[in-house]
Chains A and B, each alone.
Chain A
Amino acid sequence: MEPTNVQLRSDHGFEDEATETVLSQRTVRFRRFRRNRLAVAAVIVLAVLYLVMVAFPEFFSNHFYQTHHADYVYAPPQIPRFVDEEGTFHLRPFVYPITSELDMETFNWVYTTDTSQRNHIYFFTRGYSYDLLGLFPTDIHFFGLEDPEQPLFLFGTDRLGRDVFSRILFGGRVSLTVGLVGVFLTIIIGSFMGTMSGYFSGPIDNAVQRLAEVLMSFPSIPLWAALGAALPSGWTPLQNFFAISVILSLRNWTGLARELRGKVLSFRESEYTLAAKCVGASHLHIIVRHMIPNSMSHIIVISTLSIPFMILAETSLSFLGLGIQPPSTSWGVLLQAAQQVNVVLEQPWLLLPGIFVVIAVLSFNFLGDGIRDALDPYSS
């Protein structure tokens, strides 16, 4: 086909753009994403979190998260220092050792810092033995004291004398993986059901919507309690929680499915759908190429909003005895220990897991925003 003279009659204003290079869509989207600083920062933060907490928590923690230190109950955080009491600068960071004493009047442990002695922090030291990535037995840790028996509690300890820092790392392993399985499943099921329901209407729509109504009318707490009783008792707490989050997502998809149904109903009636039918496109093609991409920004927003919900829902599940049970841990479990007023006054370091929840949740939200904007053709 040769270009015809009709080009002369085109809507003016193309010639000056002829030099513009043609970028592929993927490049444009990637660039648009990279321009969003918050989203890029979120990717980096999430990468670090996953690397440290999901892949190598054993390597980055200096104490095993289940080890009880009976002499160090509710020990406050030991802050690494470079400058000692005399004002001398040391290139290698150090902590002062602490000793505990029971106050016989209040029955609280009182800690005194021994400033006469410096315990220097070394990197790649030997500590407790573990399997790196579950494969390679080793005892090398990222940091630690020369004497692993000496206390080094960066974030303090809890009521059983367990290192809060290590517990946050190991808790993150659960919260950042198993917790997200539920979100992922919810999104998949919700998108599928919602799109089917909106696109095919008629009996399929009716069936899906009635099913959603039935599921929505179940009271959640009794349902969870019943499910908790129904799960086989031989399972580990982690398996239990995995099962619960899968079951939760079997109920939680309803909201997303309803919202998507409404959207797809309107997309289905648009002329571009008719145009796709006119060229002979199959239903699958129309759903995959038109319905889902148009619903994508909504799906992304819902997923980023449900991640914090899932992390926090785990807390209430644990409360009912359905979530992660000791000795396993998760951010939700750790925060449960901080749900008392006196913690704020006496052991504020137990609130530190909350900061990690906030960081993770915000990162997921920024990442979601970034992806949504990058996919949005209307953004410049």
Chain B
Amino acid sequence: MSTETLMRVSNLKKYFPIRKGVLRRVAGHVKAVDDVSFQIRQGETLGMVGESGCGKSTTGRSIIRLIEPTAGSVKYRTAGQEEEITHFNKTQMKAFRQRVQMVFQDPFSSLDPRMSVRDTVSEPLFVHRMGSQKERTEQVKELLQTVGLSVTHLNRFPHQFSGGQRQRIGIARALALRPELIICDEAVSALDVSVQAQILNLLQDLQSEFGLTYMFIAHDLSVIDYISDRIVVMYLGKIVEVATKQQLYDNPSHPYTEALLGAIPIGEKRVGEGKRLLLGGTVPSPANPPPGCTFHTRCPYAADICRQKEPVLESVANSGDHQAACHFTTELELKSFYDFSQVDRSGA
């Protein structure tokens, strides 16, 4: 894995206006993504994790302008040159779409029920006027085999497939344009656990075969753990921690990450230090985020400074790869995943 940056996201913001009254005046904003900066490196799998409504999906969609970001910059490296995506015109954008593709969450609504597999998978080729109809069909056949489907499925319709098969169709569609980066937006969260593993394995195989880069959005840390090289943790529209997988699991530097690690199901009875850390309260409204650190309302370690001053995302210790946004990164002794995994093995 190289450390070359493929995509550099800086100070990305996406505010959705809240309109009220007959005149539909803007009464406020939902700050779905609020000042987020991160990088995606060539060939890596960047996991993005956080609970529902924290802005993961909005981030994923904003960086490829499926949703227009409110502010910020997204730079994408093309032939050694970084280009600003947010300034692209229509033609440039269409060309850019060939480089970055997306796999969607819901295998049921992400495929048009009126379109056969052939039409769905060849749609990207059709849109970009690639090849004749016959050539496109040949490509679709290859793609179907690549994702583990059969050529006989060509003329079937989405409802004739299982969730896992549908997700494979979605992956074939994303691969059709031979992209460099694939954003998987909760790509496995709607699937059975056993099928999740199949799809994750498929994604990994495809990554090594085509040299893909993934940005993998999920709310399930165990899925993220399985596939990611680096992990971004989001809370209420902001990034609270960025780390390699190893660093995050061994040495979490943000109380929210600690809580997430403590919530991973381990299937056995926890004892002693392994007791789960339960967060109280609920996520505050992104329309009216609390002042200071947005996590202070639920943080067990919150102090006065947390209610007043917003922490910035800073490097932890000497590691450039590991960043956290907490005032007490250095002071706190947070439990690692292994601390949480202390289980009772005495009685069975």
Contact = CB atoms under 8 A, between A and B. Distances in A.
Interface of A: 1, 3-11, 14, 17-18, 20, 22-25, 28, 270-272, 274-282, 285, 289-290, 293-294, 296, 375, 377-378
A228 B165 CA distance: 60
A275 B146 contact: no
B155 A28 contact: yes
B123 A289 contact: yes
Interface stretch (B1-9, B195-203, B268-276, B324-332): B195-203
B338 to A, nearest CB: 30
A3 B146 contact: yes
Given A4-B209, A377-B159, 20 more contacts: A3-B145, A3-B146, A4-B205, A5-B205, A11-B165, A14-B153, A20-B152, A25-B119, A28-B155, A271-B105, A272-B110, A278-B101, A279-B176, A280-B124, A290-B115, A293-B112, A296-B114, A377-B114, A377-B157, A378-B113
A21 B3 CA distance: 48
Contacts of A377: 113-114, 116, 157-159
B155 A271 contact: no
A23 B118 CA distance: 12
Q: Which of A7, A272, A293 neighbours the largest number of chain B CB atoms within 10 Å of its CB?
A: A272
B93 A6 contact: no
Nearest to A28: B155
B66 A278 contact: yes
Given A5-B205, A28-B155, A377-B157, A272 B101 contact: no
B150 A18 contact: yes
B177 interface: yes
A14 B152 contact: yes
Interface in B127-155: 127-128, 142-143, 145-155
The 5 closest A-B pairs by CB, nearest first: A10-B148, A280-B97, A377-B157, A271-B110, A279-B124
A67 B64 CA distance: 74
Q: Which of B105, B123, B153, B205 neighbours the largest number of chain A CB atoms within 10 Å of its CB?
A: B123
Contact of B112 (A5, A294, A378): A294
Contacts of B72: none
Contacts of B123: 276, 279, 281, 289
A25 B104 contact: no
Contacts of B147: 6
B97 A279 contact: yes
A22 B151 contact: yes
Interface in B162-182: 162, 164-165, 168, 170, 173, 176-177
Contacts of B173: 275, 279
Contact of B155 (A7, A22, A276, A278): A22
Contact of A271 (B109, B150, B151, B152): B109
B98 interface: yes
A274 B66 contact: yes
A23 B155 CA distance: 7
B146 A6 contact: yes
B346 to A, nearest CB: 37
Contact of A378 (B115, B119, B159): B159
B110 A275 contact: yes
B111 interface: yes
Interface residues of B, number: 57
Given A271-B104, A275-B110, A289-B123, A18 B159 contact: no
Contacts of A5: 205
A279 B120 CA distance: 11
Contacts of A279: 97, 101, 123-124, 127-128, 173, 176-177
Contacts of A14: 149-150, 152-153
Q: Which of B150, B154, B201 neighbours the largest number of chain A CB atoms within 10 Å of its CB?
A: B150
A109 B110 CA distance: 73
16 contacts: A4-B209, A5-B205, A7-B148, A10-B148, A10-B198, A25-B119, A28-B155, A271-B105, A271-B110, A272-B111, A274-B102, A276-B127, A279-B128, A280-B124, A294-B113, A377-B113
Contacts of B110: 270-272, 274-275
B66 A277 contact: yes
B220 interface: no
Interface in B245-294: none
Contacts of A25: 116, 118-119, 155
Q: Which of A10, A25, A279 neighbours the largest number of chain B CB atoms within 10 Å of its CB?
A: A279
B64 A6 contact: no
B94 interface: yes
Contacts of A277: 66
B216 to A, nearest CB: 16
B201 A9 contact: yes
B225 interface: no
B71 interface: no
Contacts of A275: 102, 104, 110-111, 170, 173
B106 interface: yes
Contacts of A4: 146, 205, 209
B127 A281 contact: yes
Contact of B164 (A11, A18, A22, A274): A11
Nearest to B177: A279
Contacts of B151: 22
A271 B165 CA distance: 17
A4 B98 CA distance: 23
A272 B166 CA distance: 12
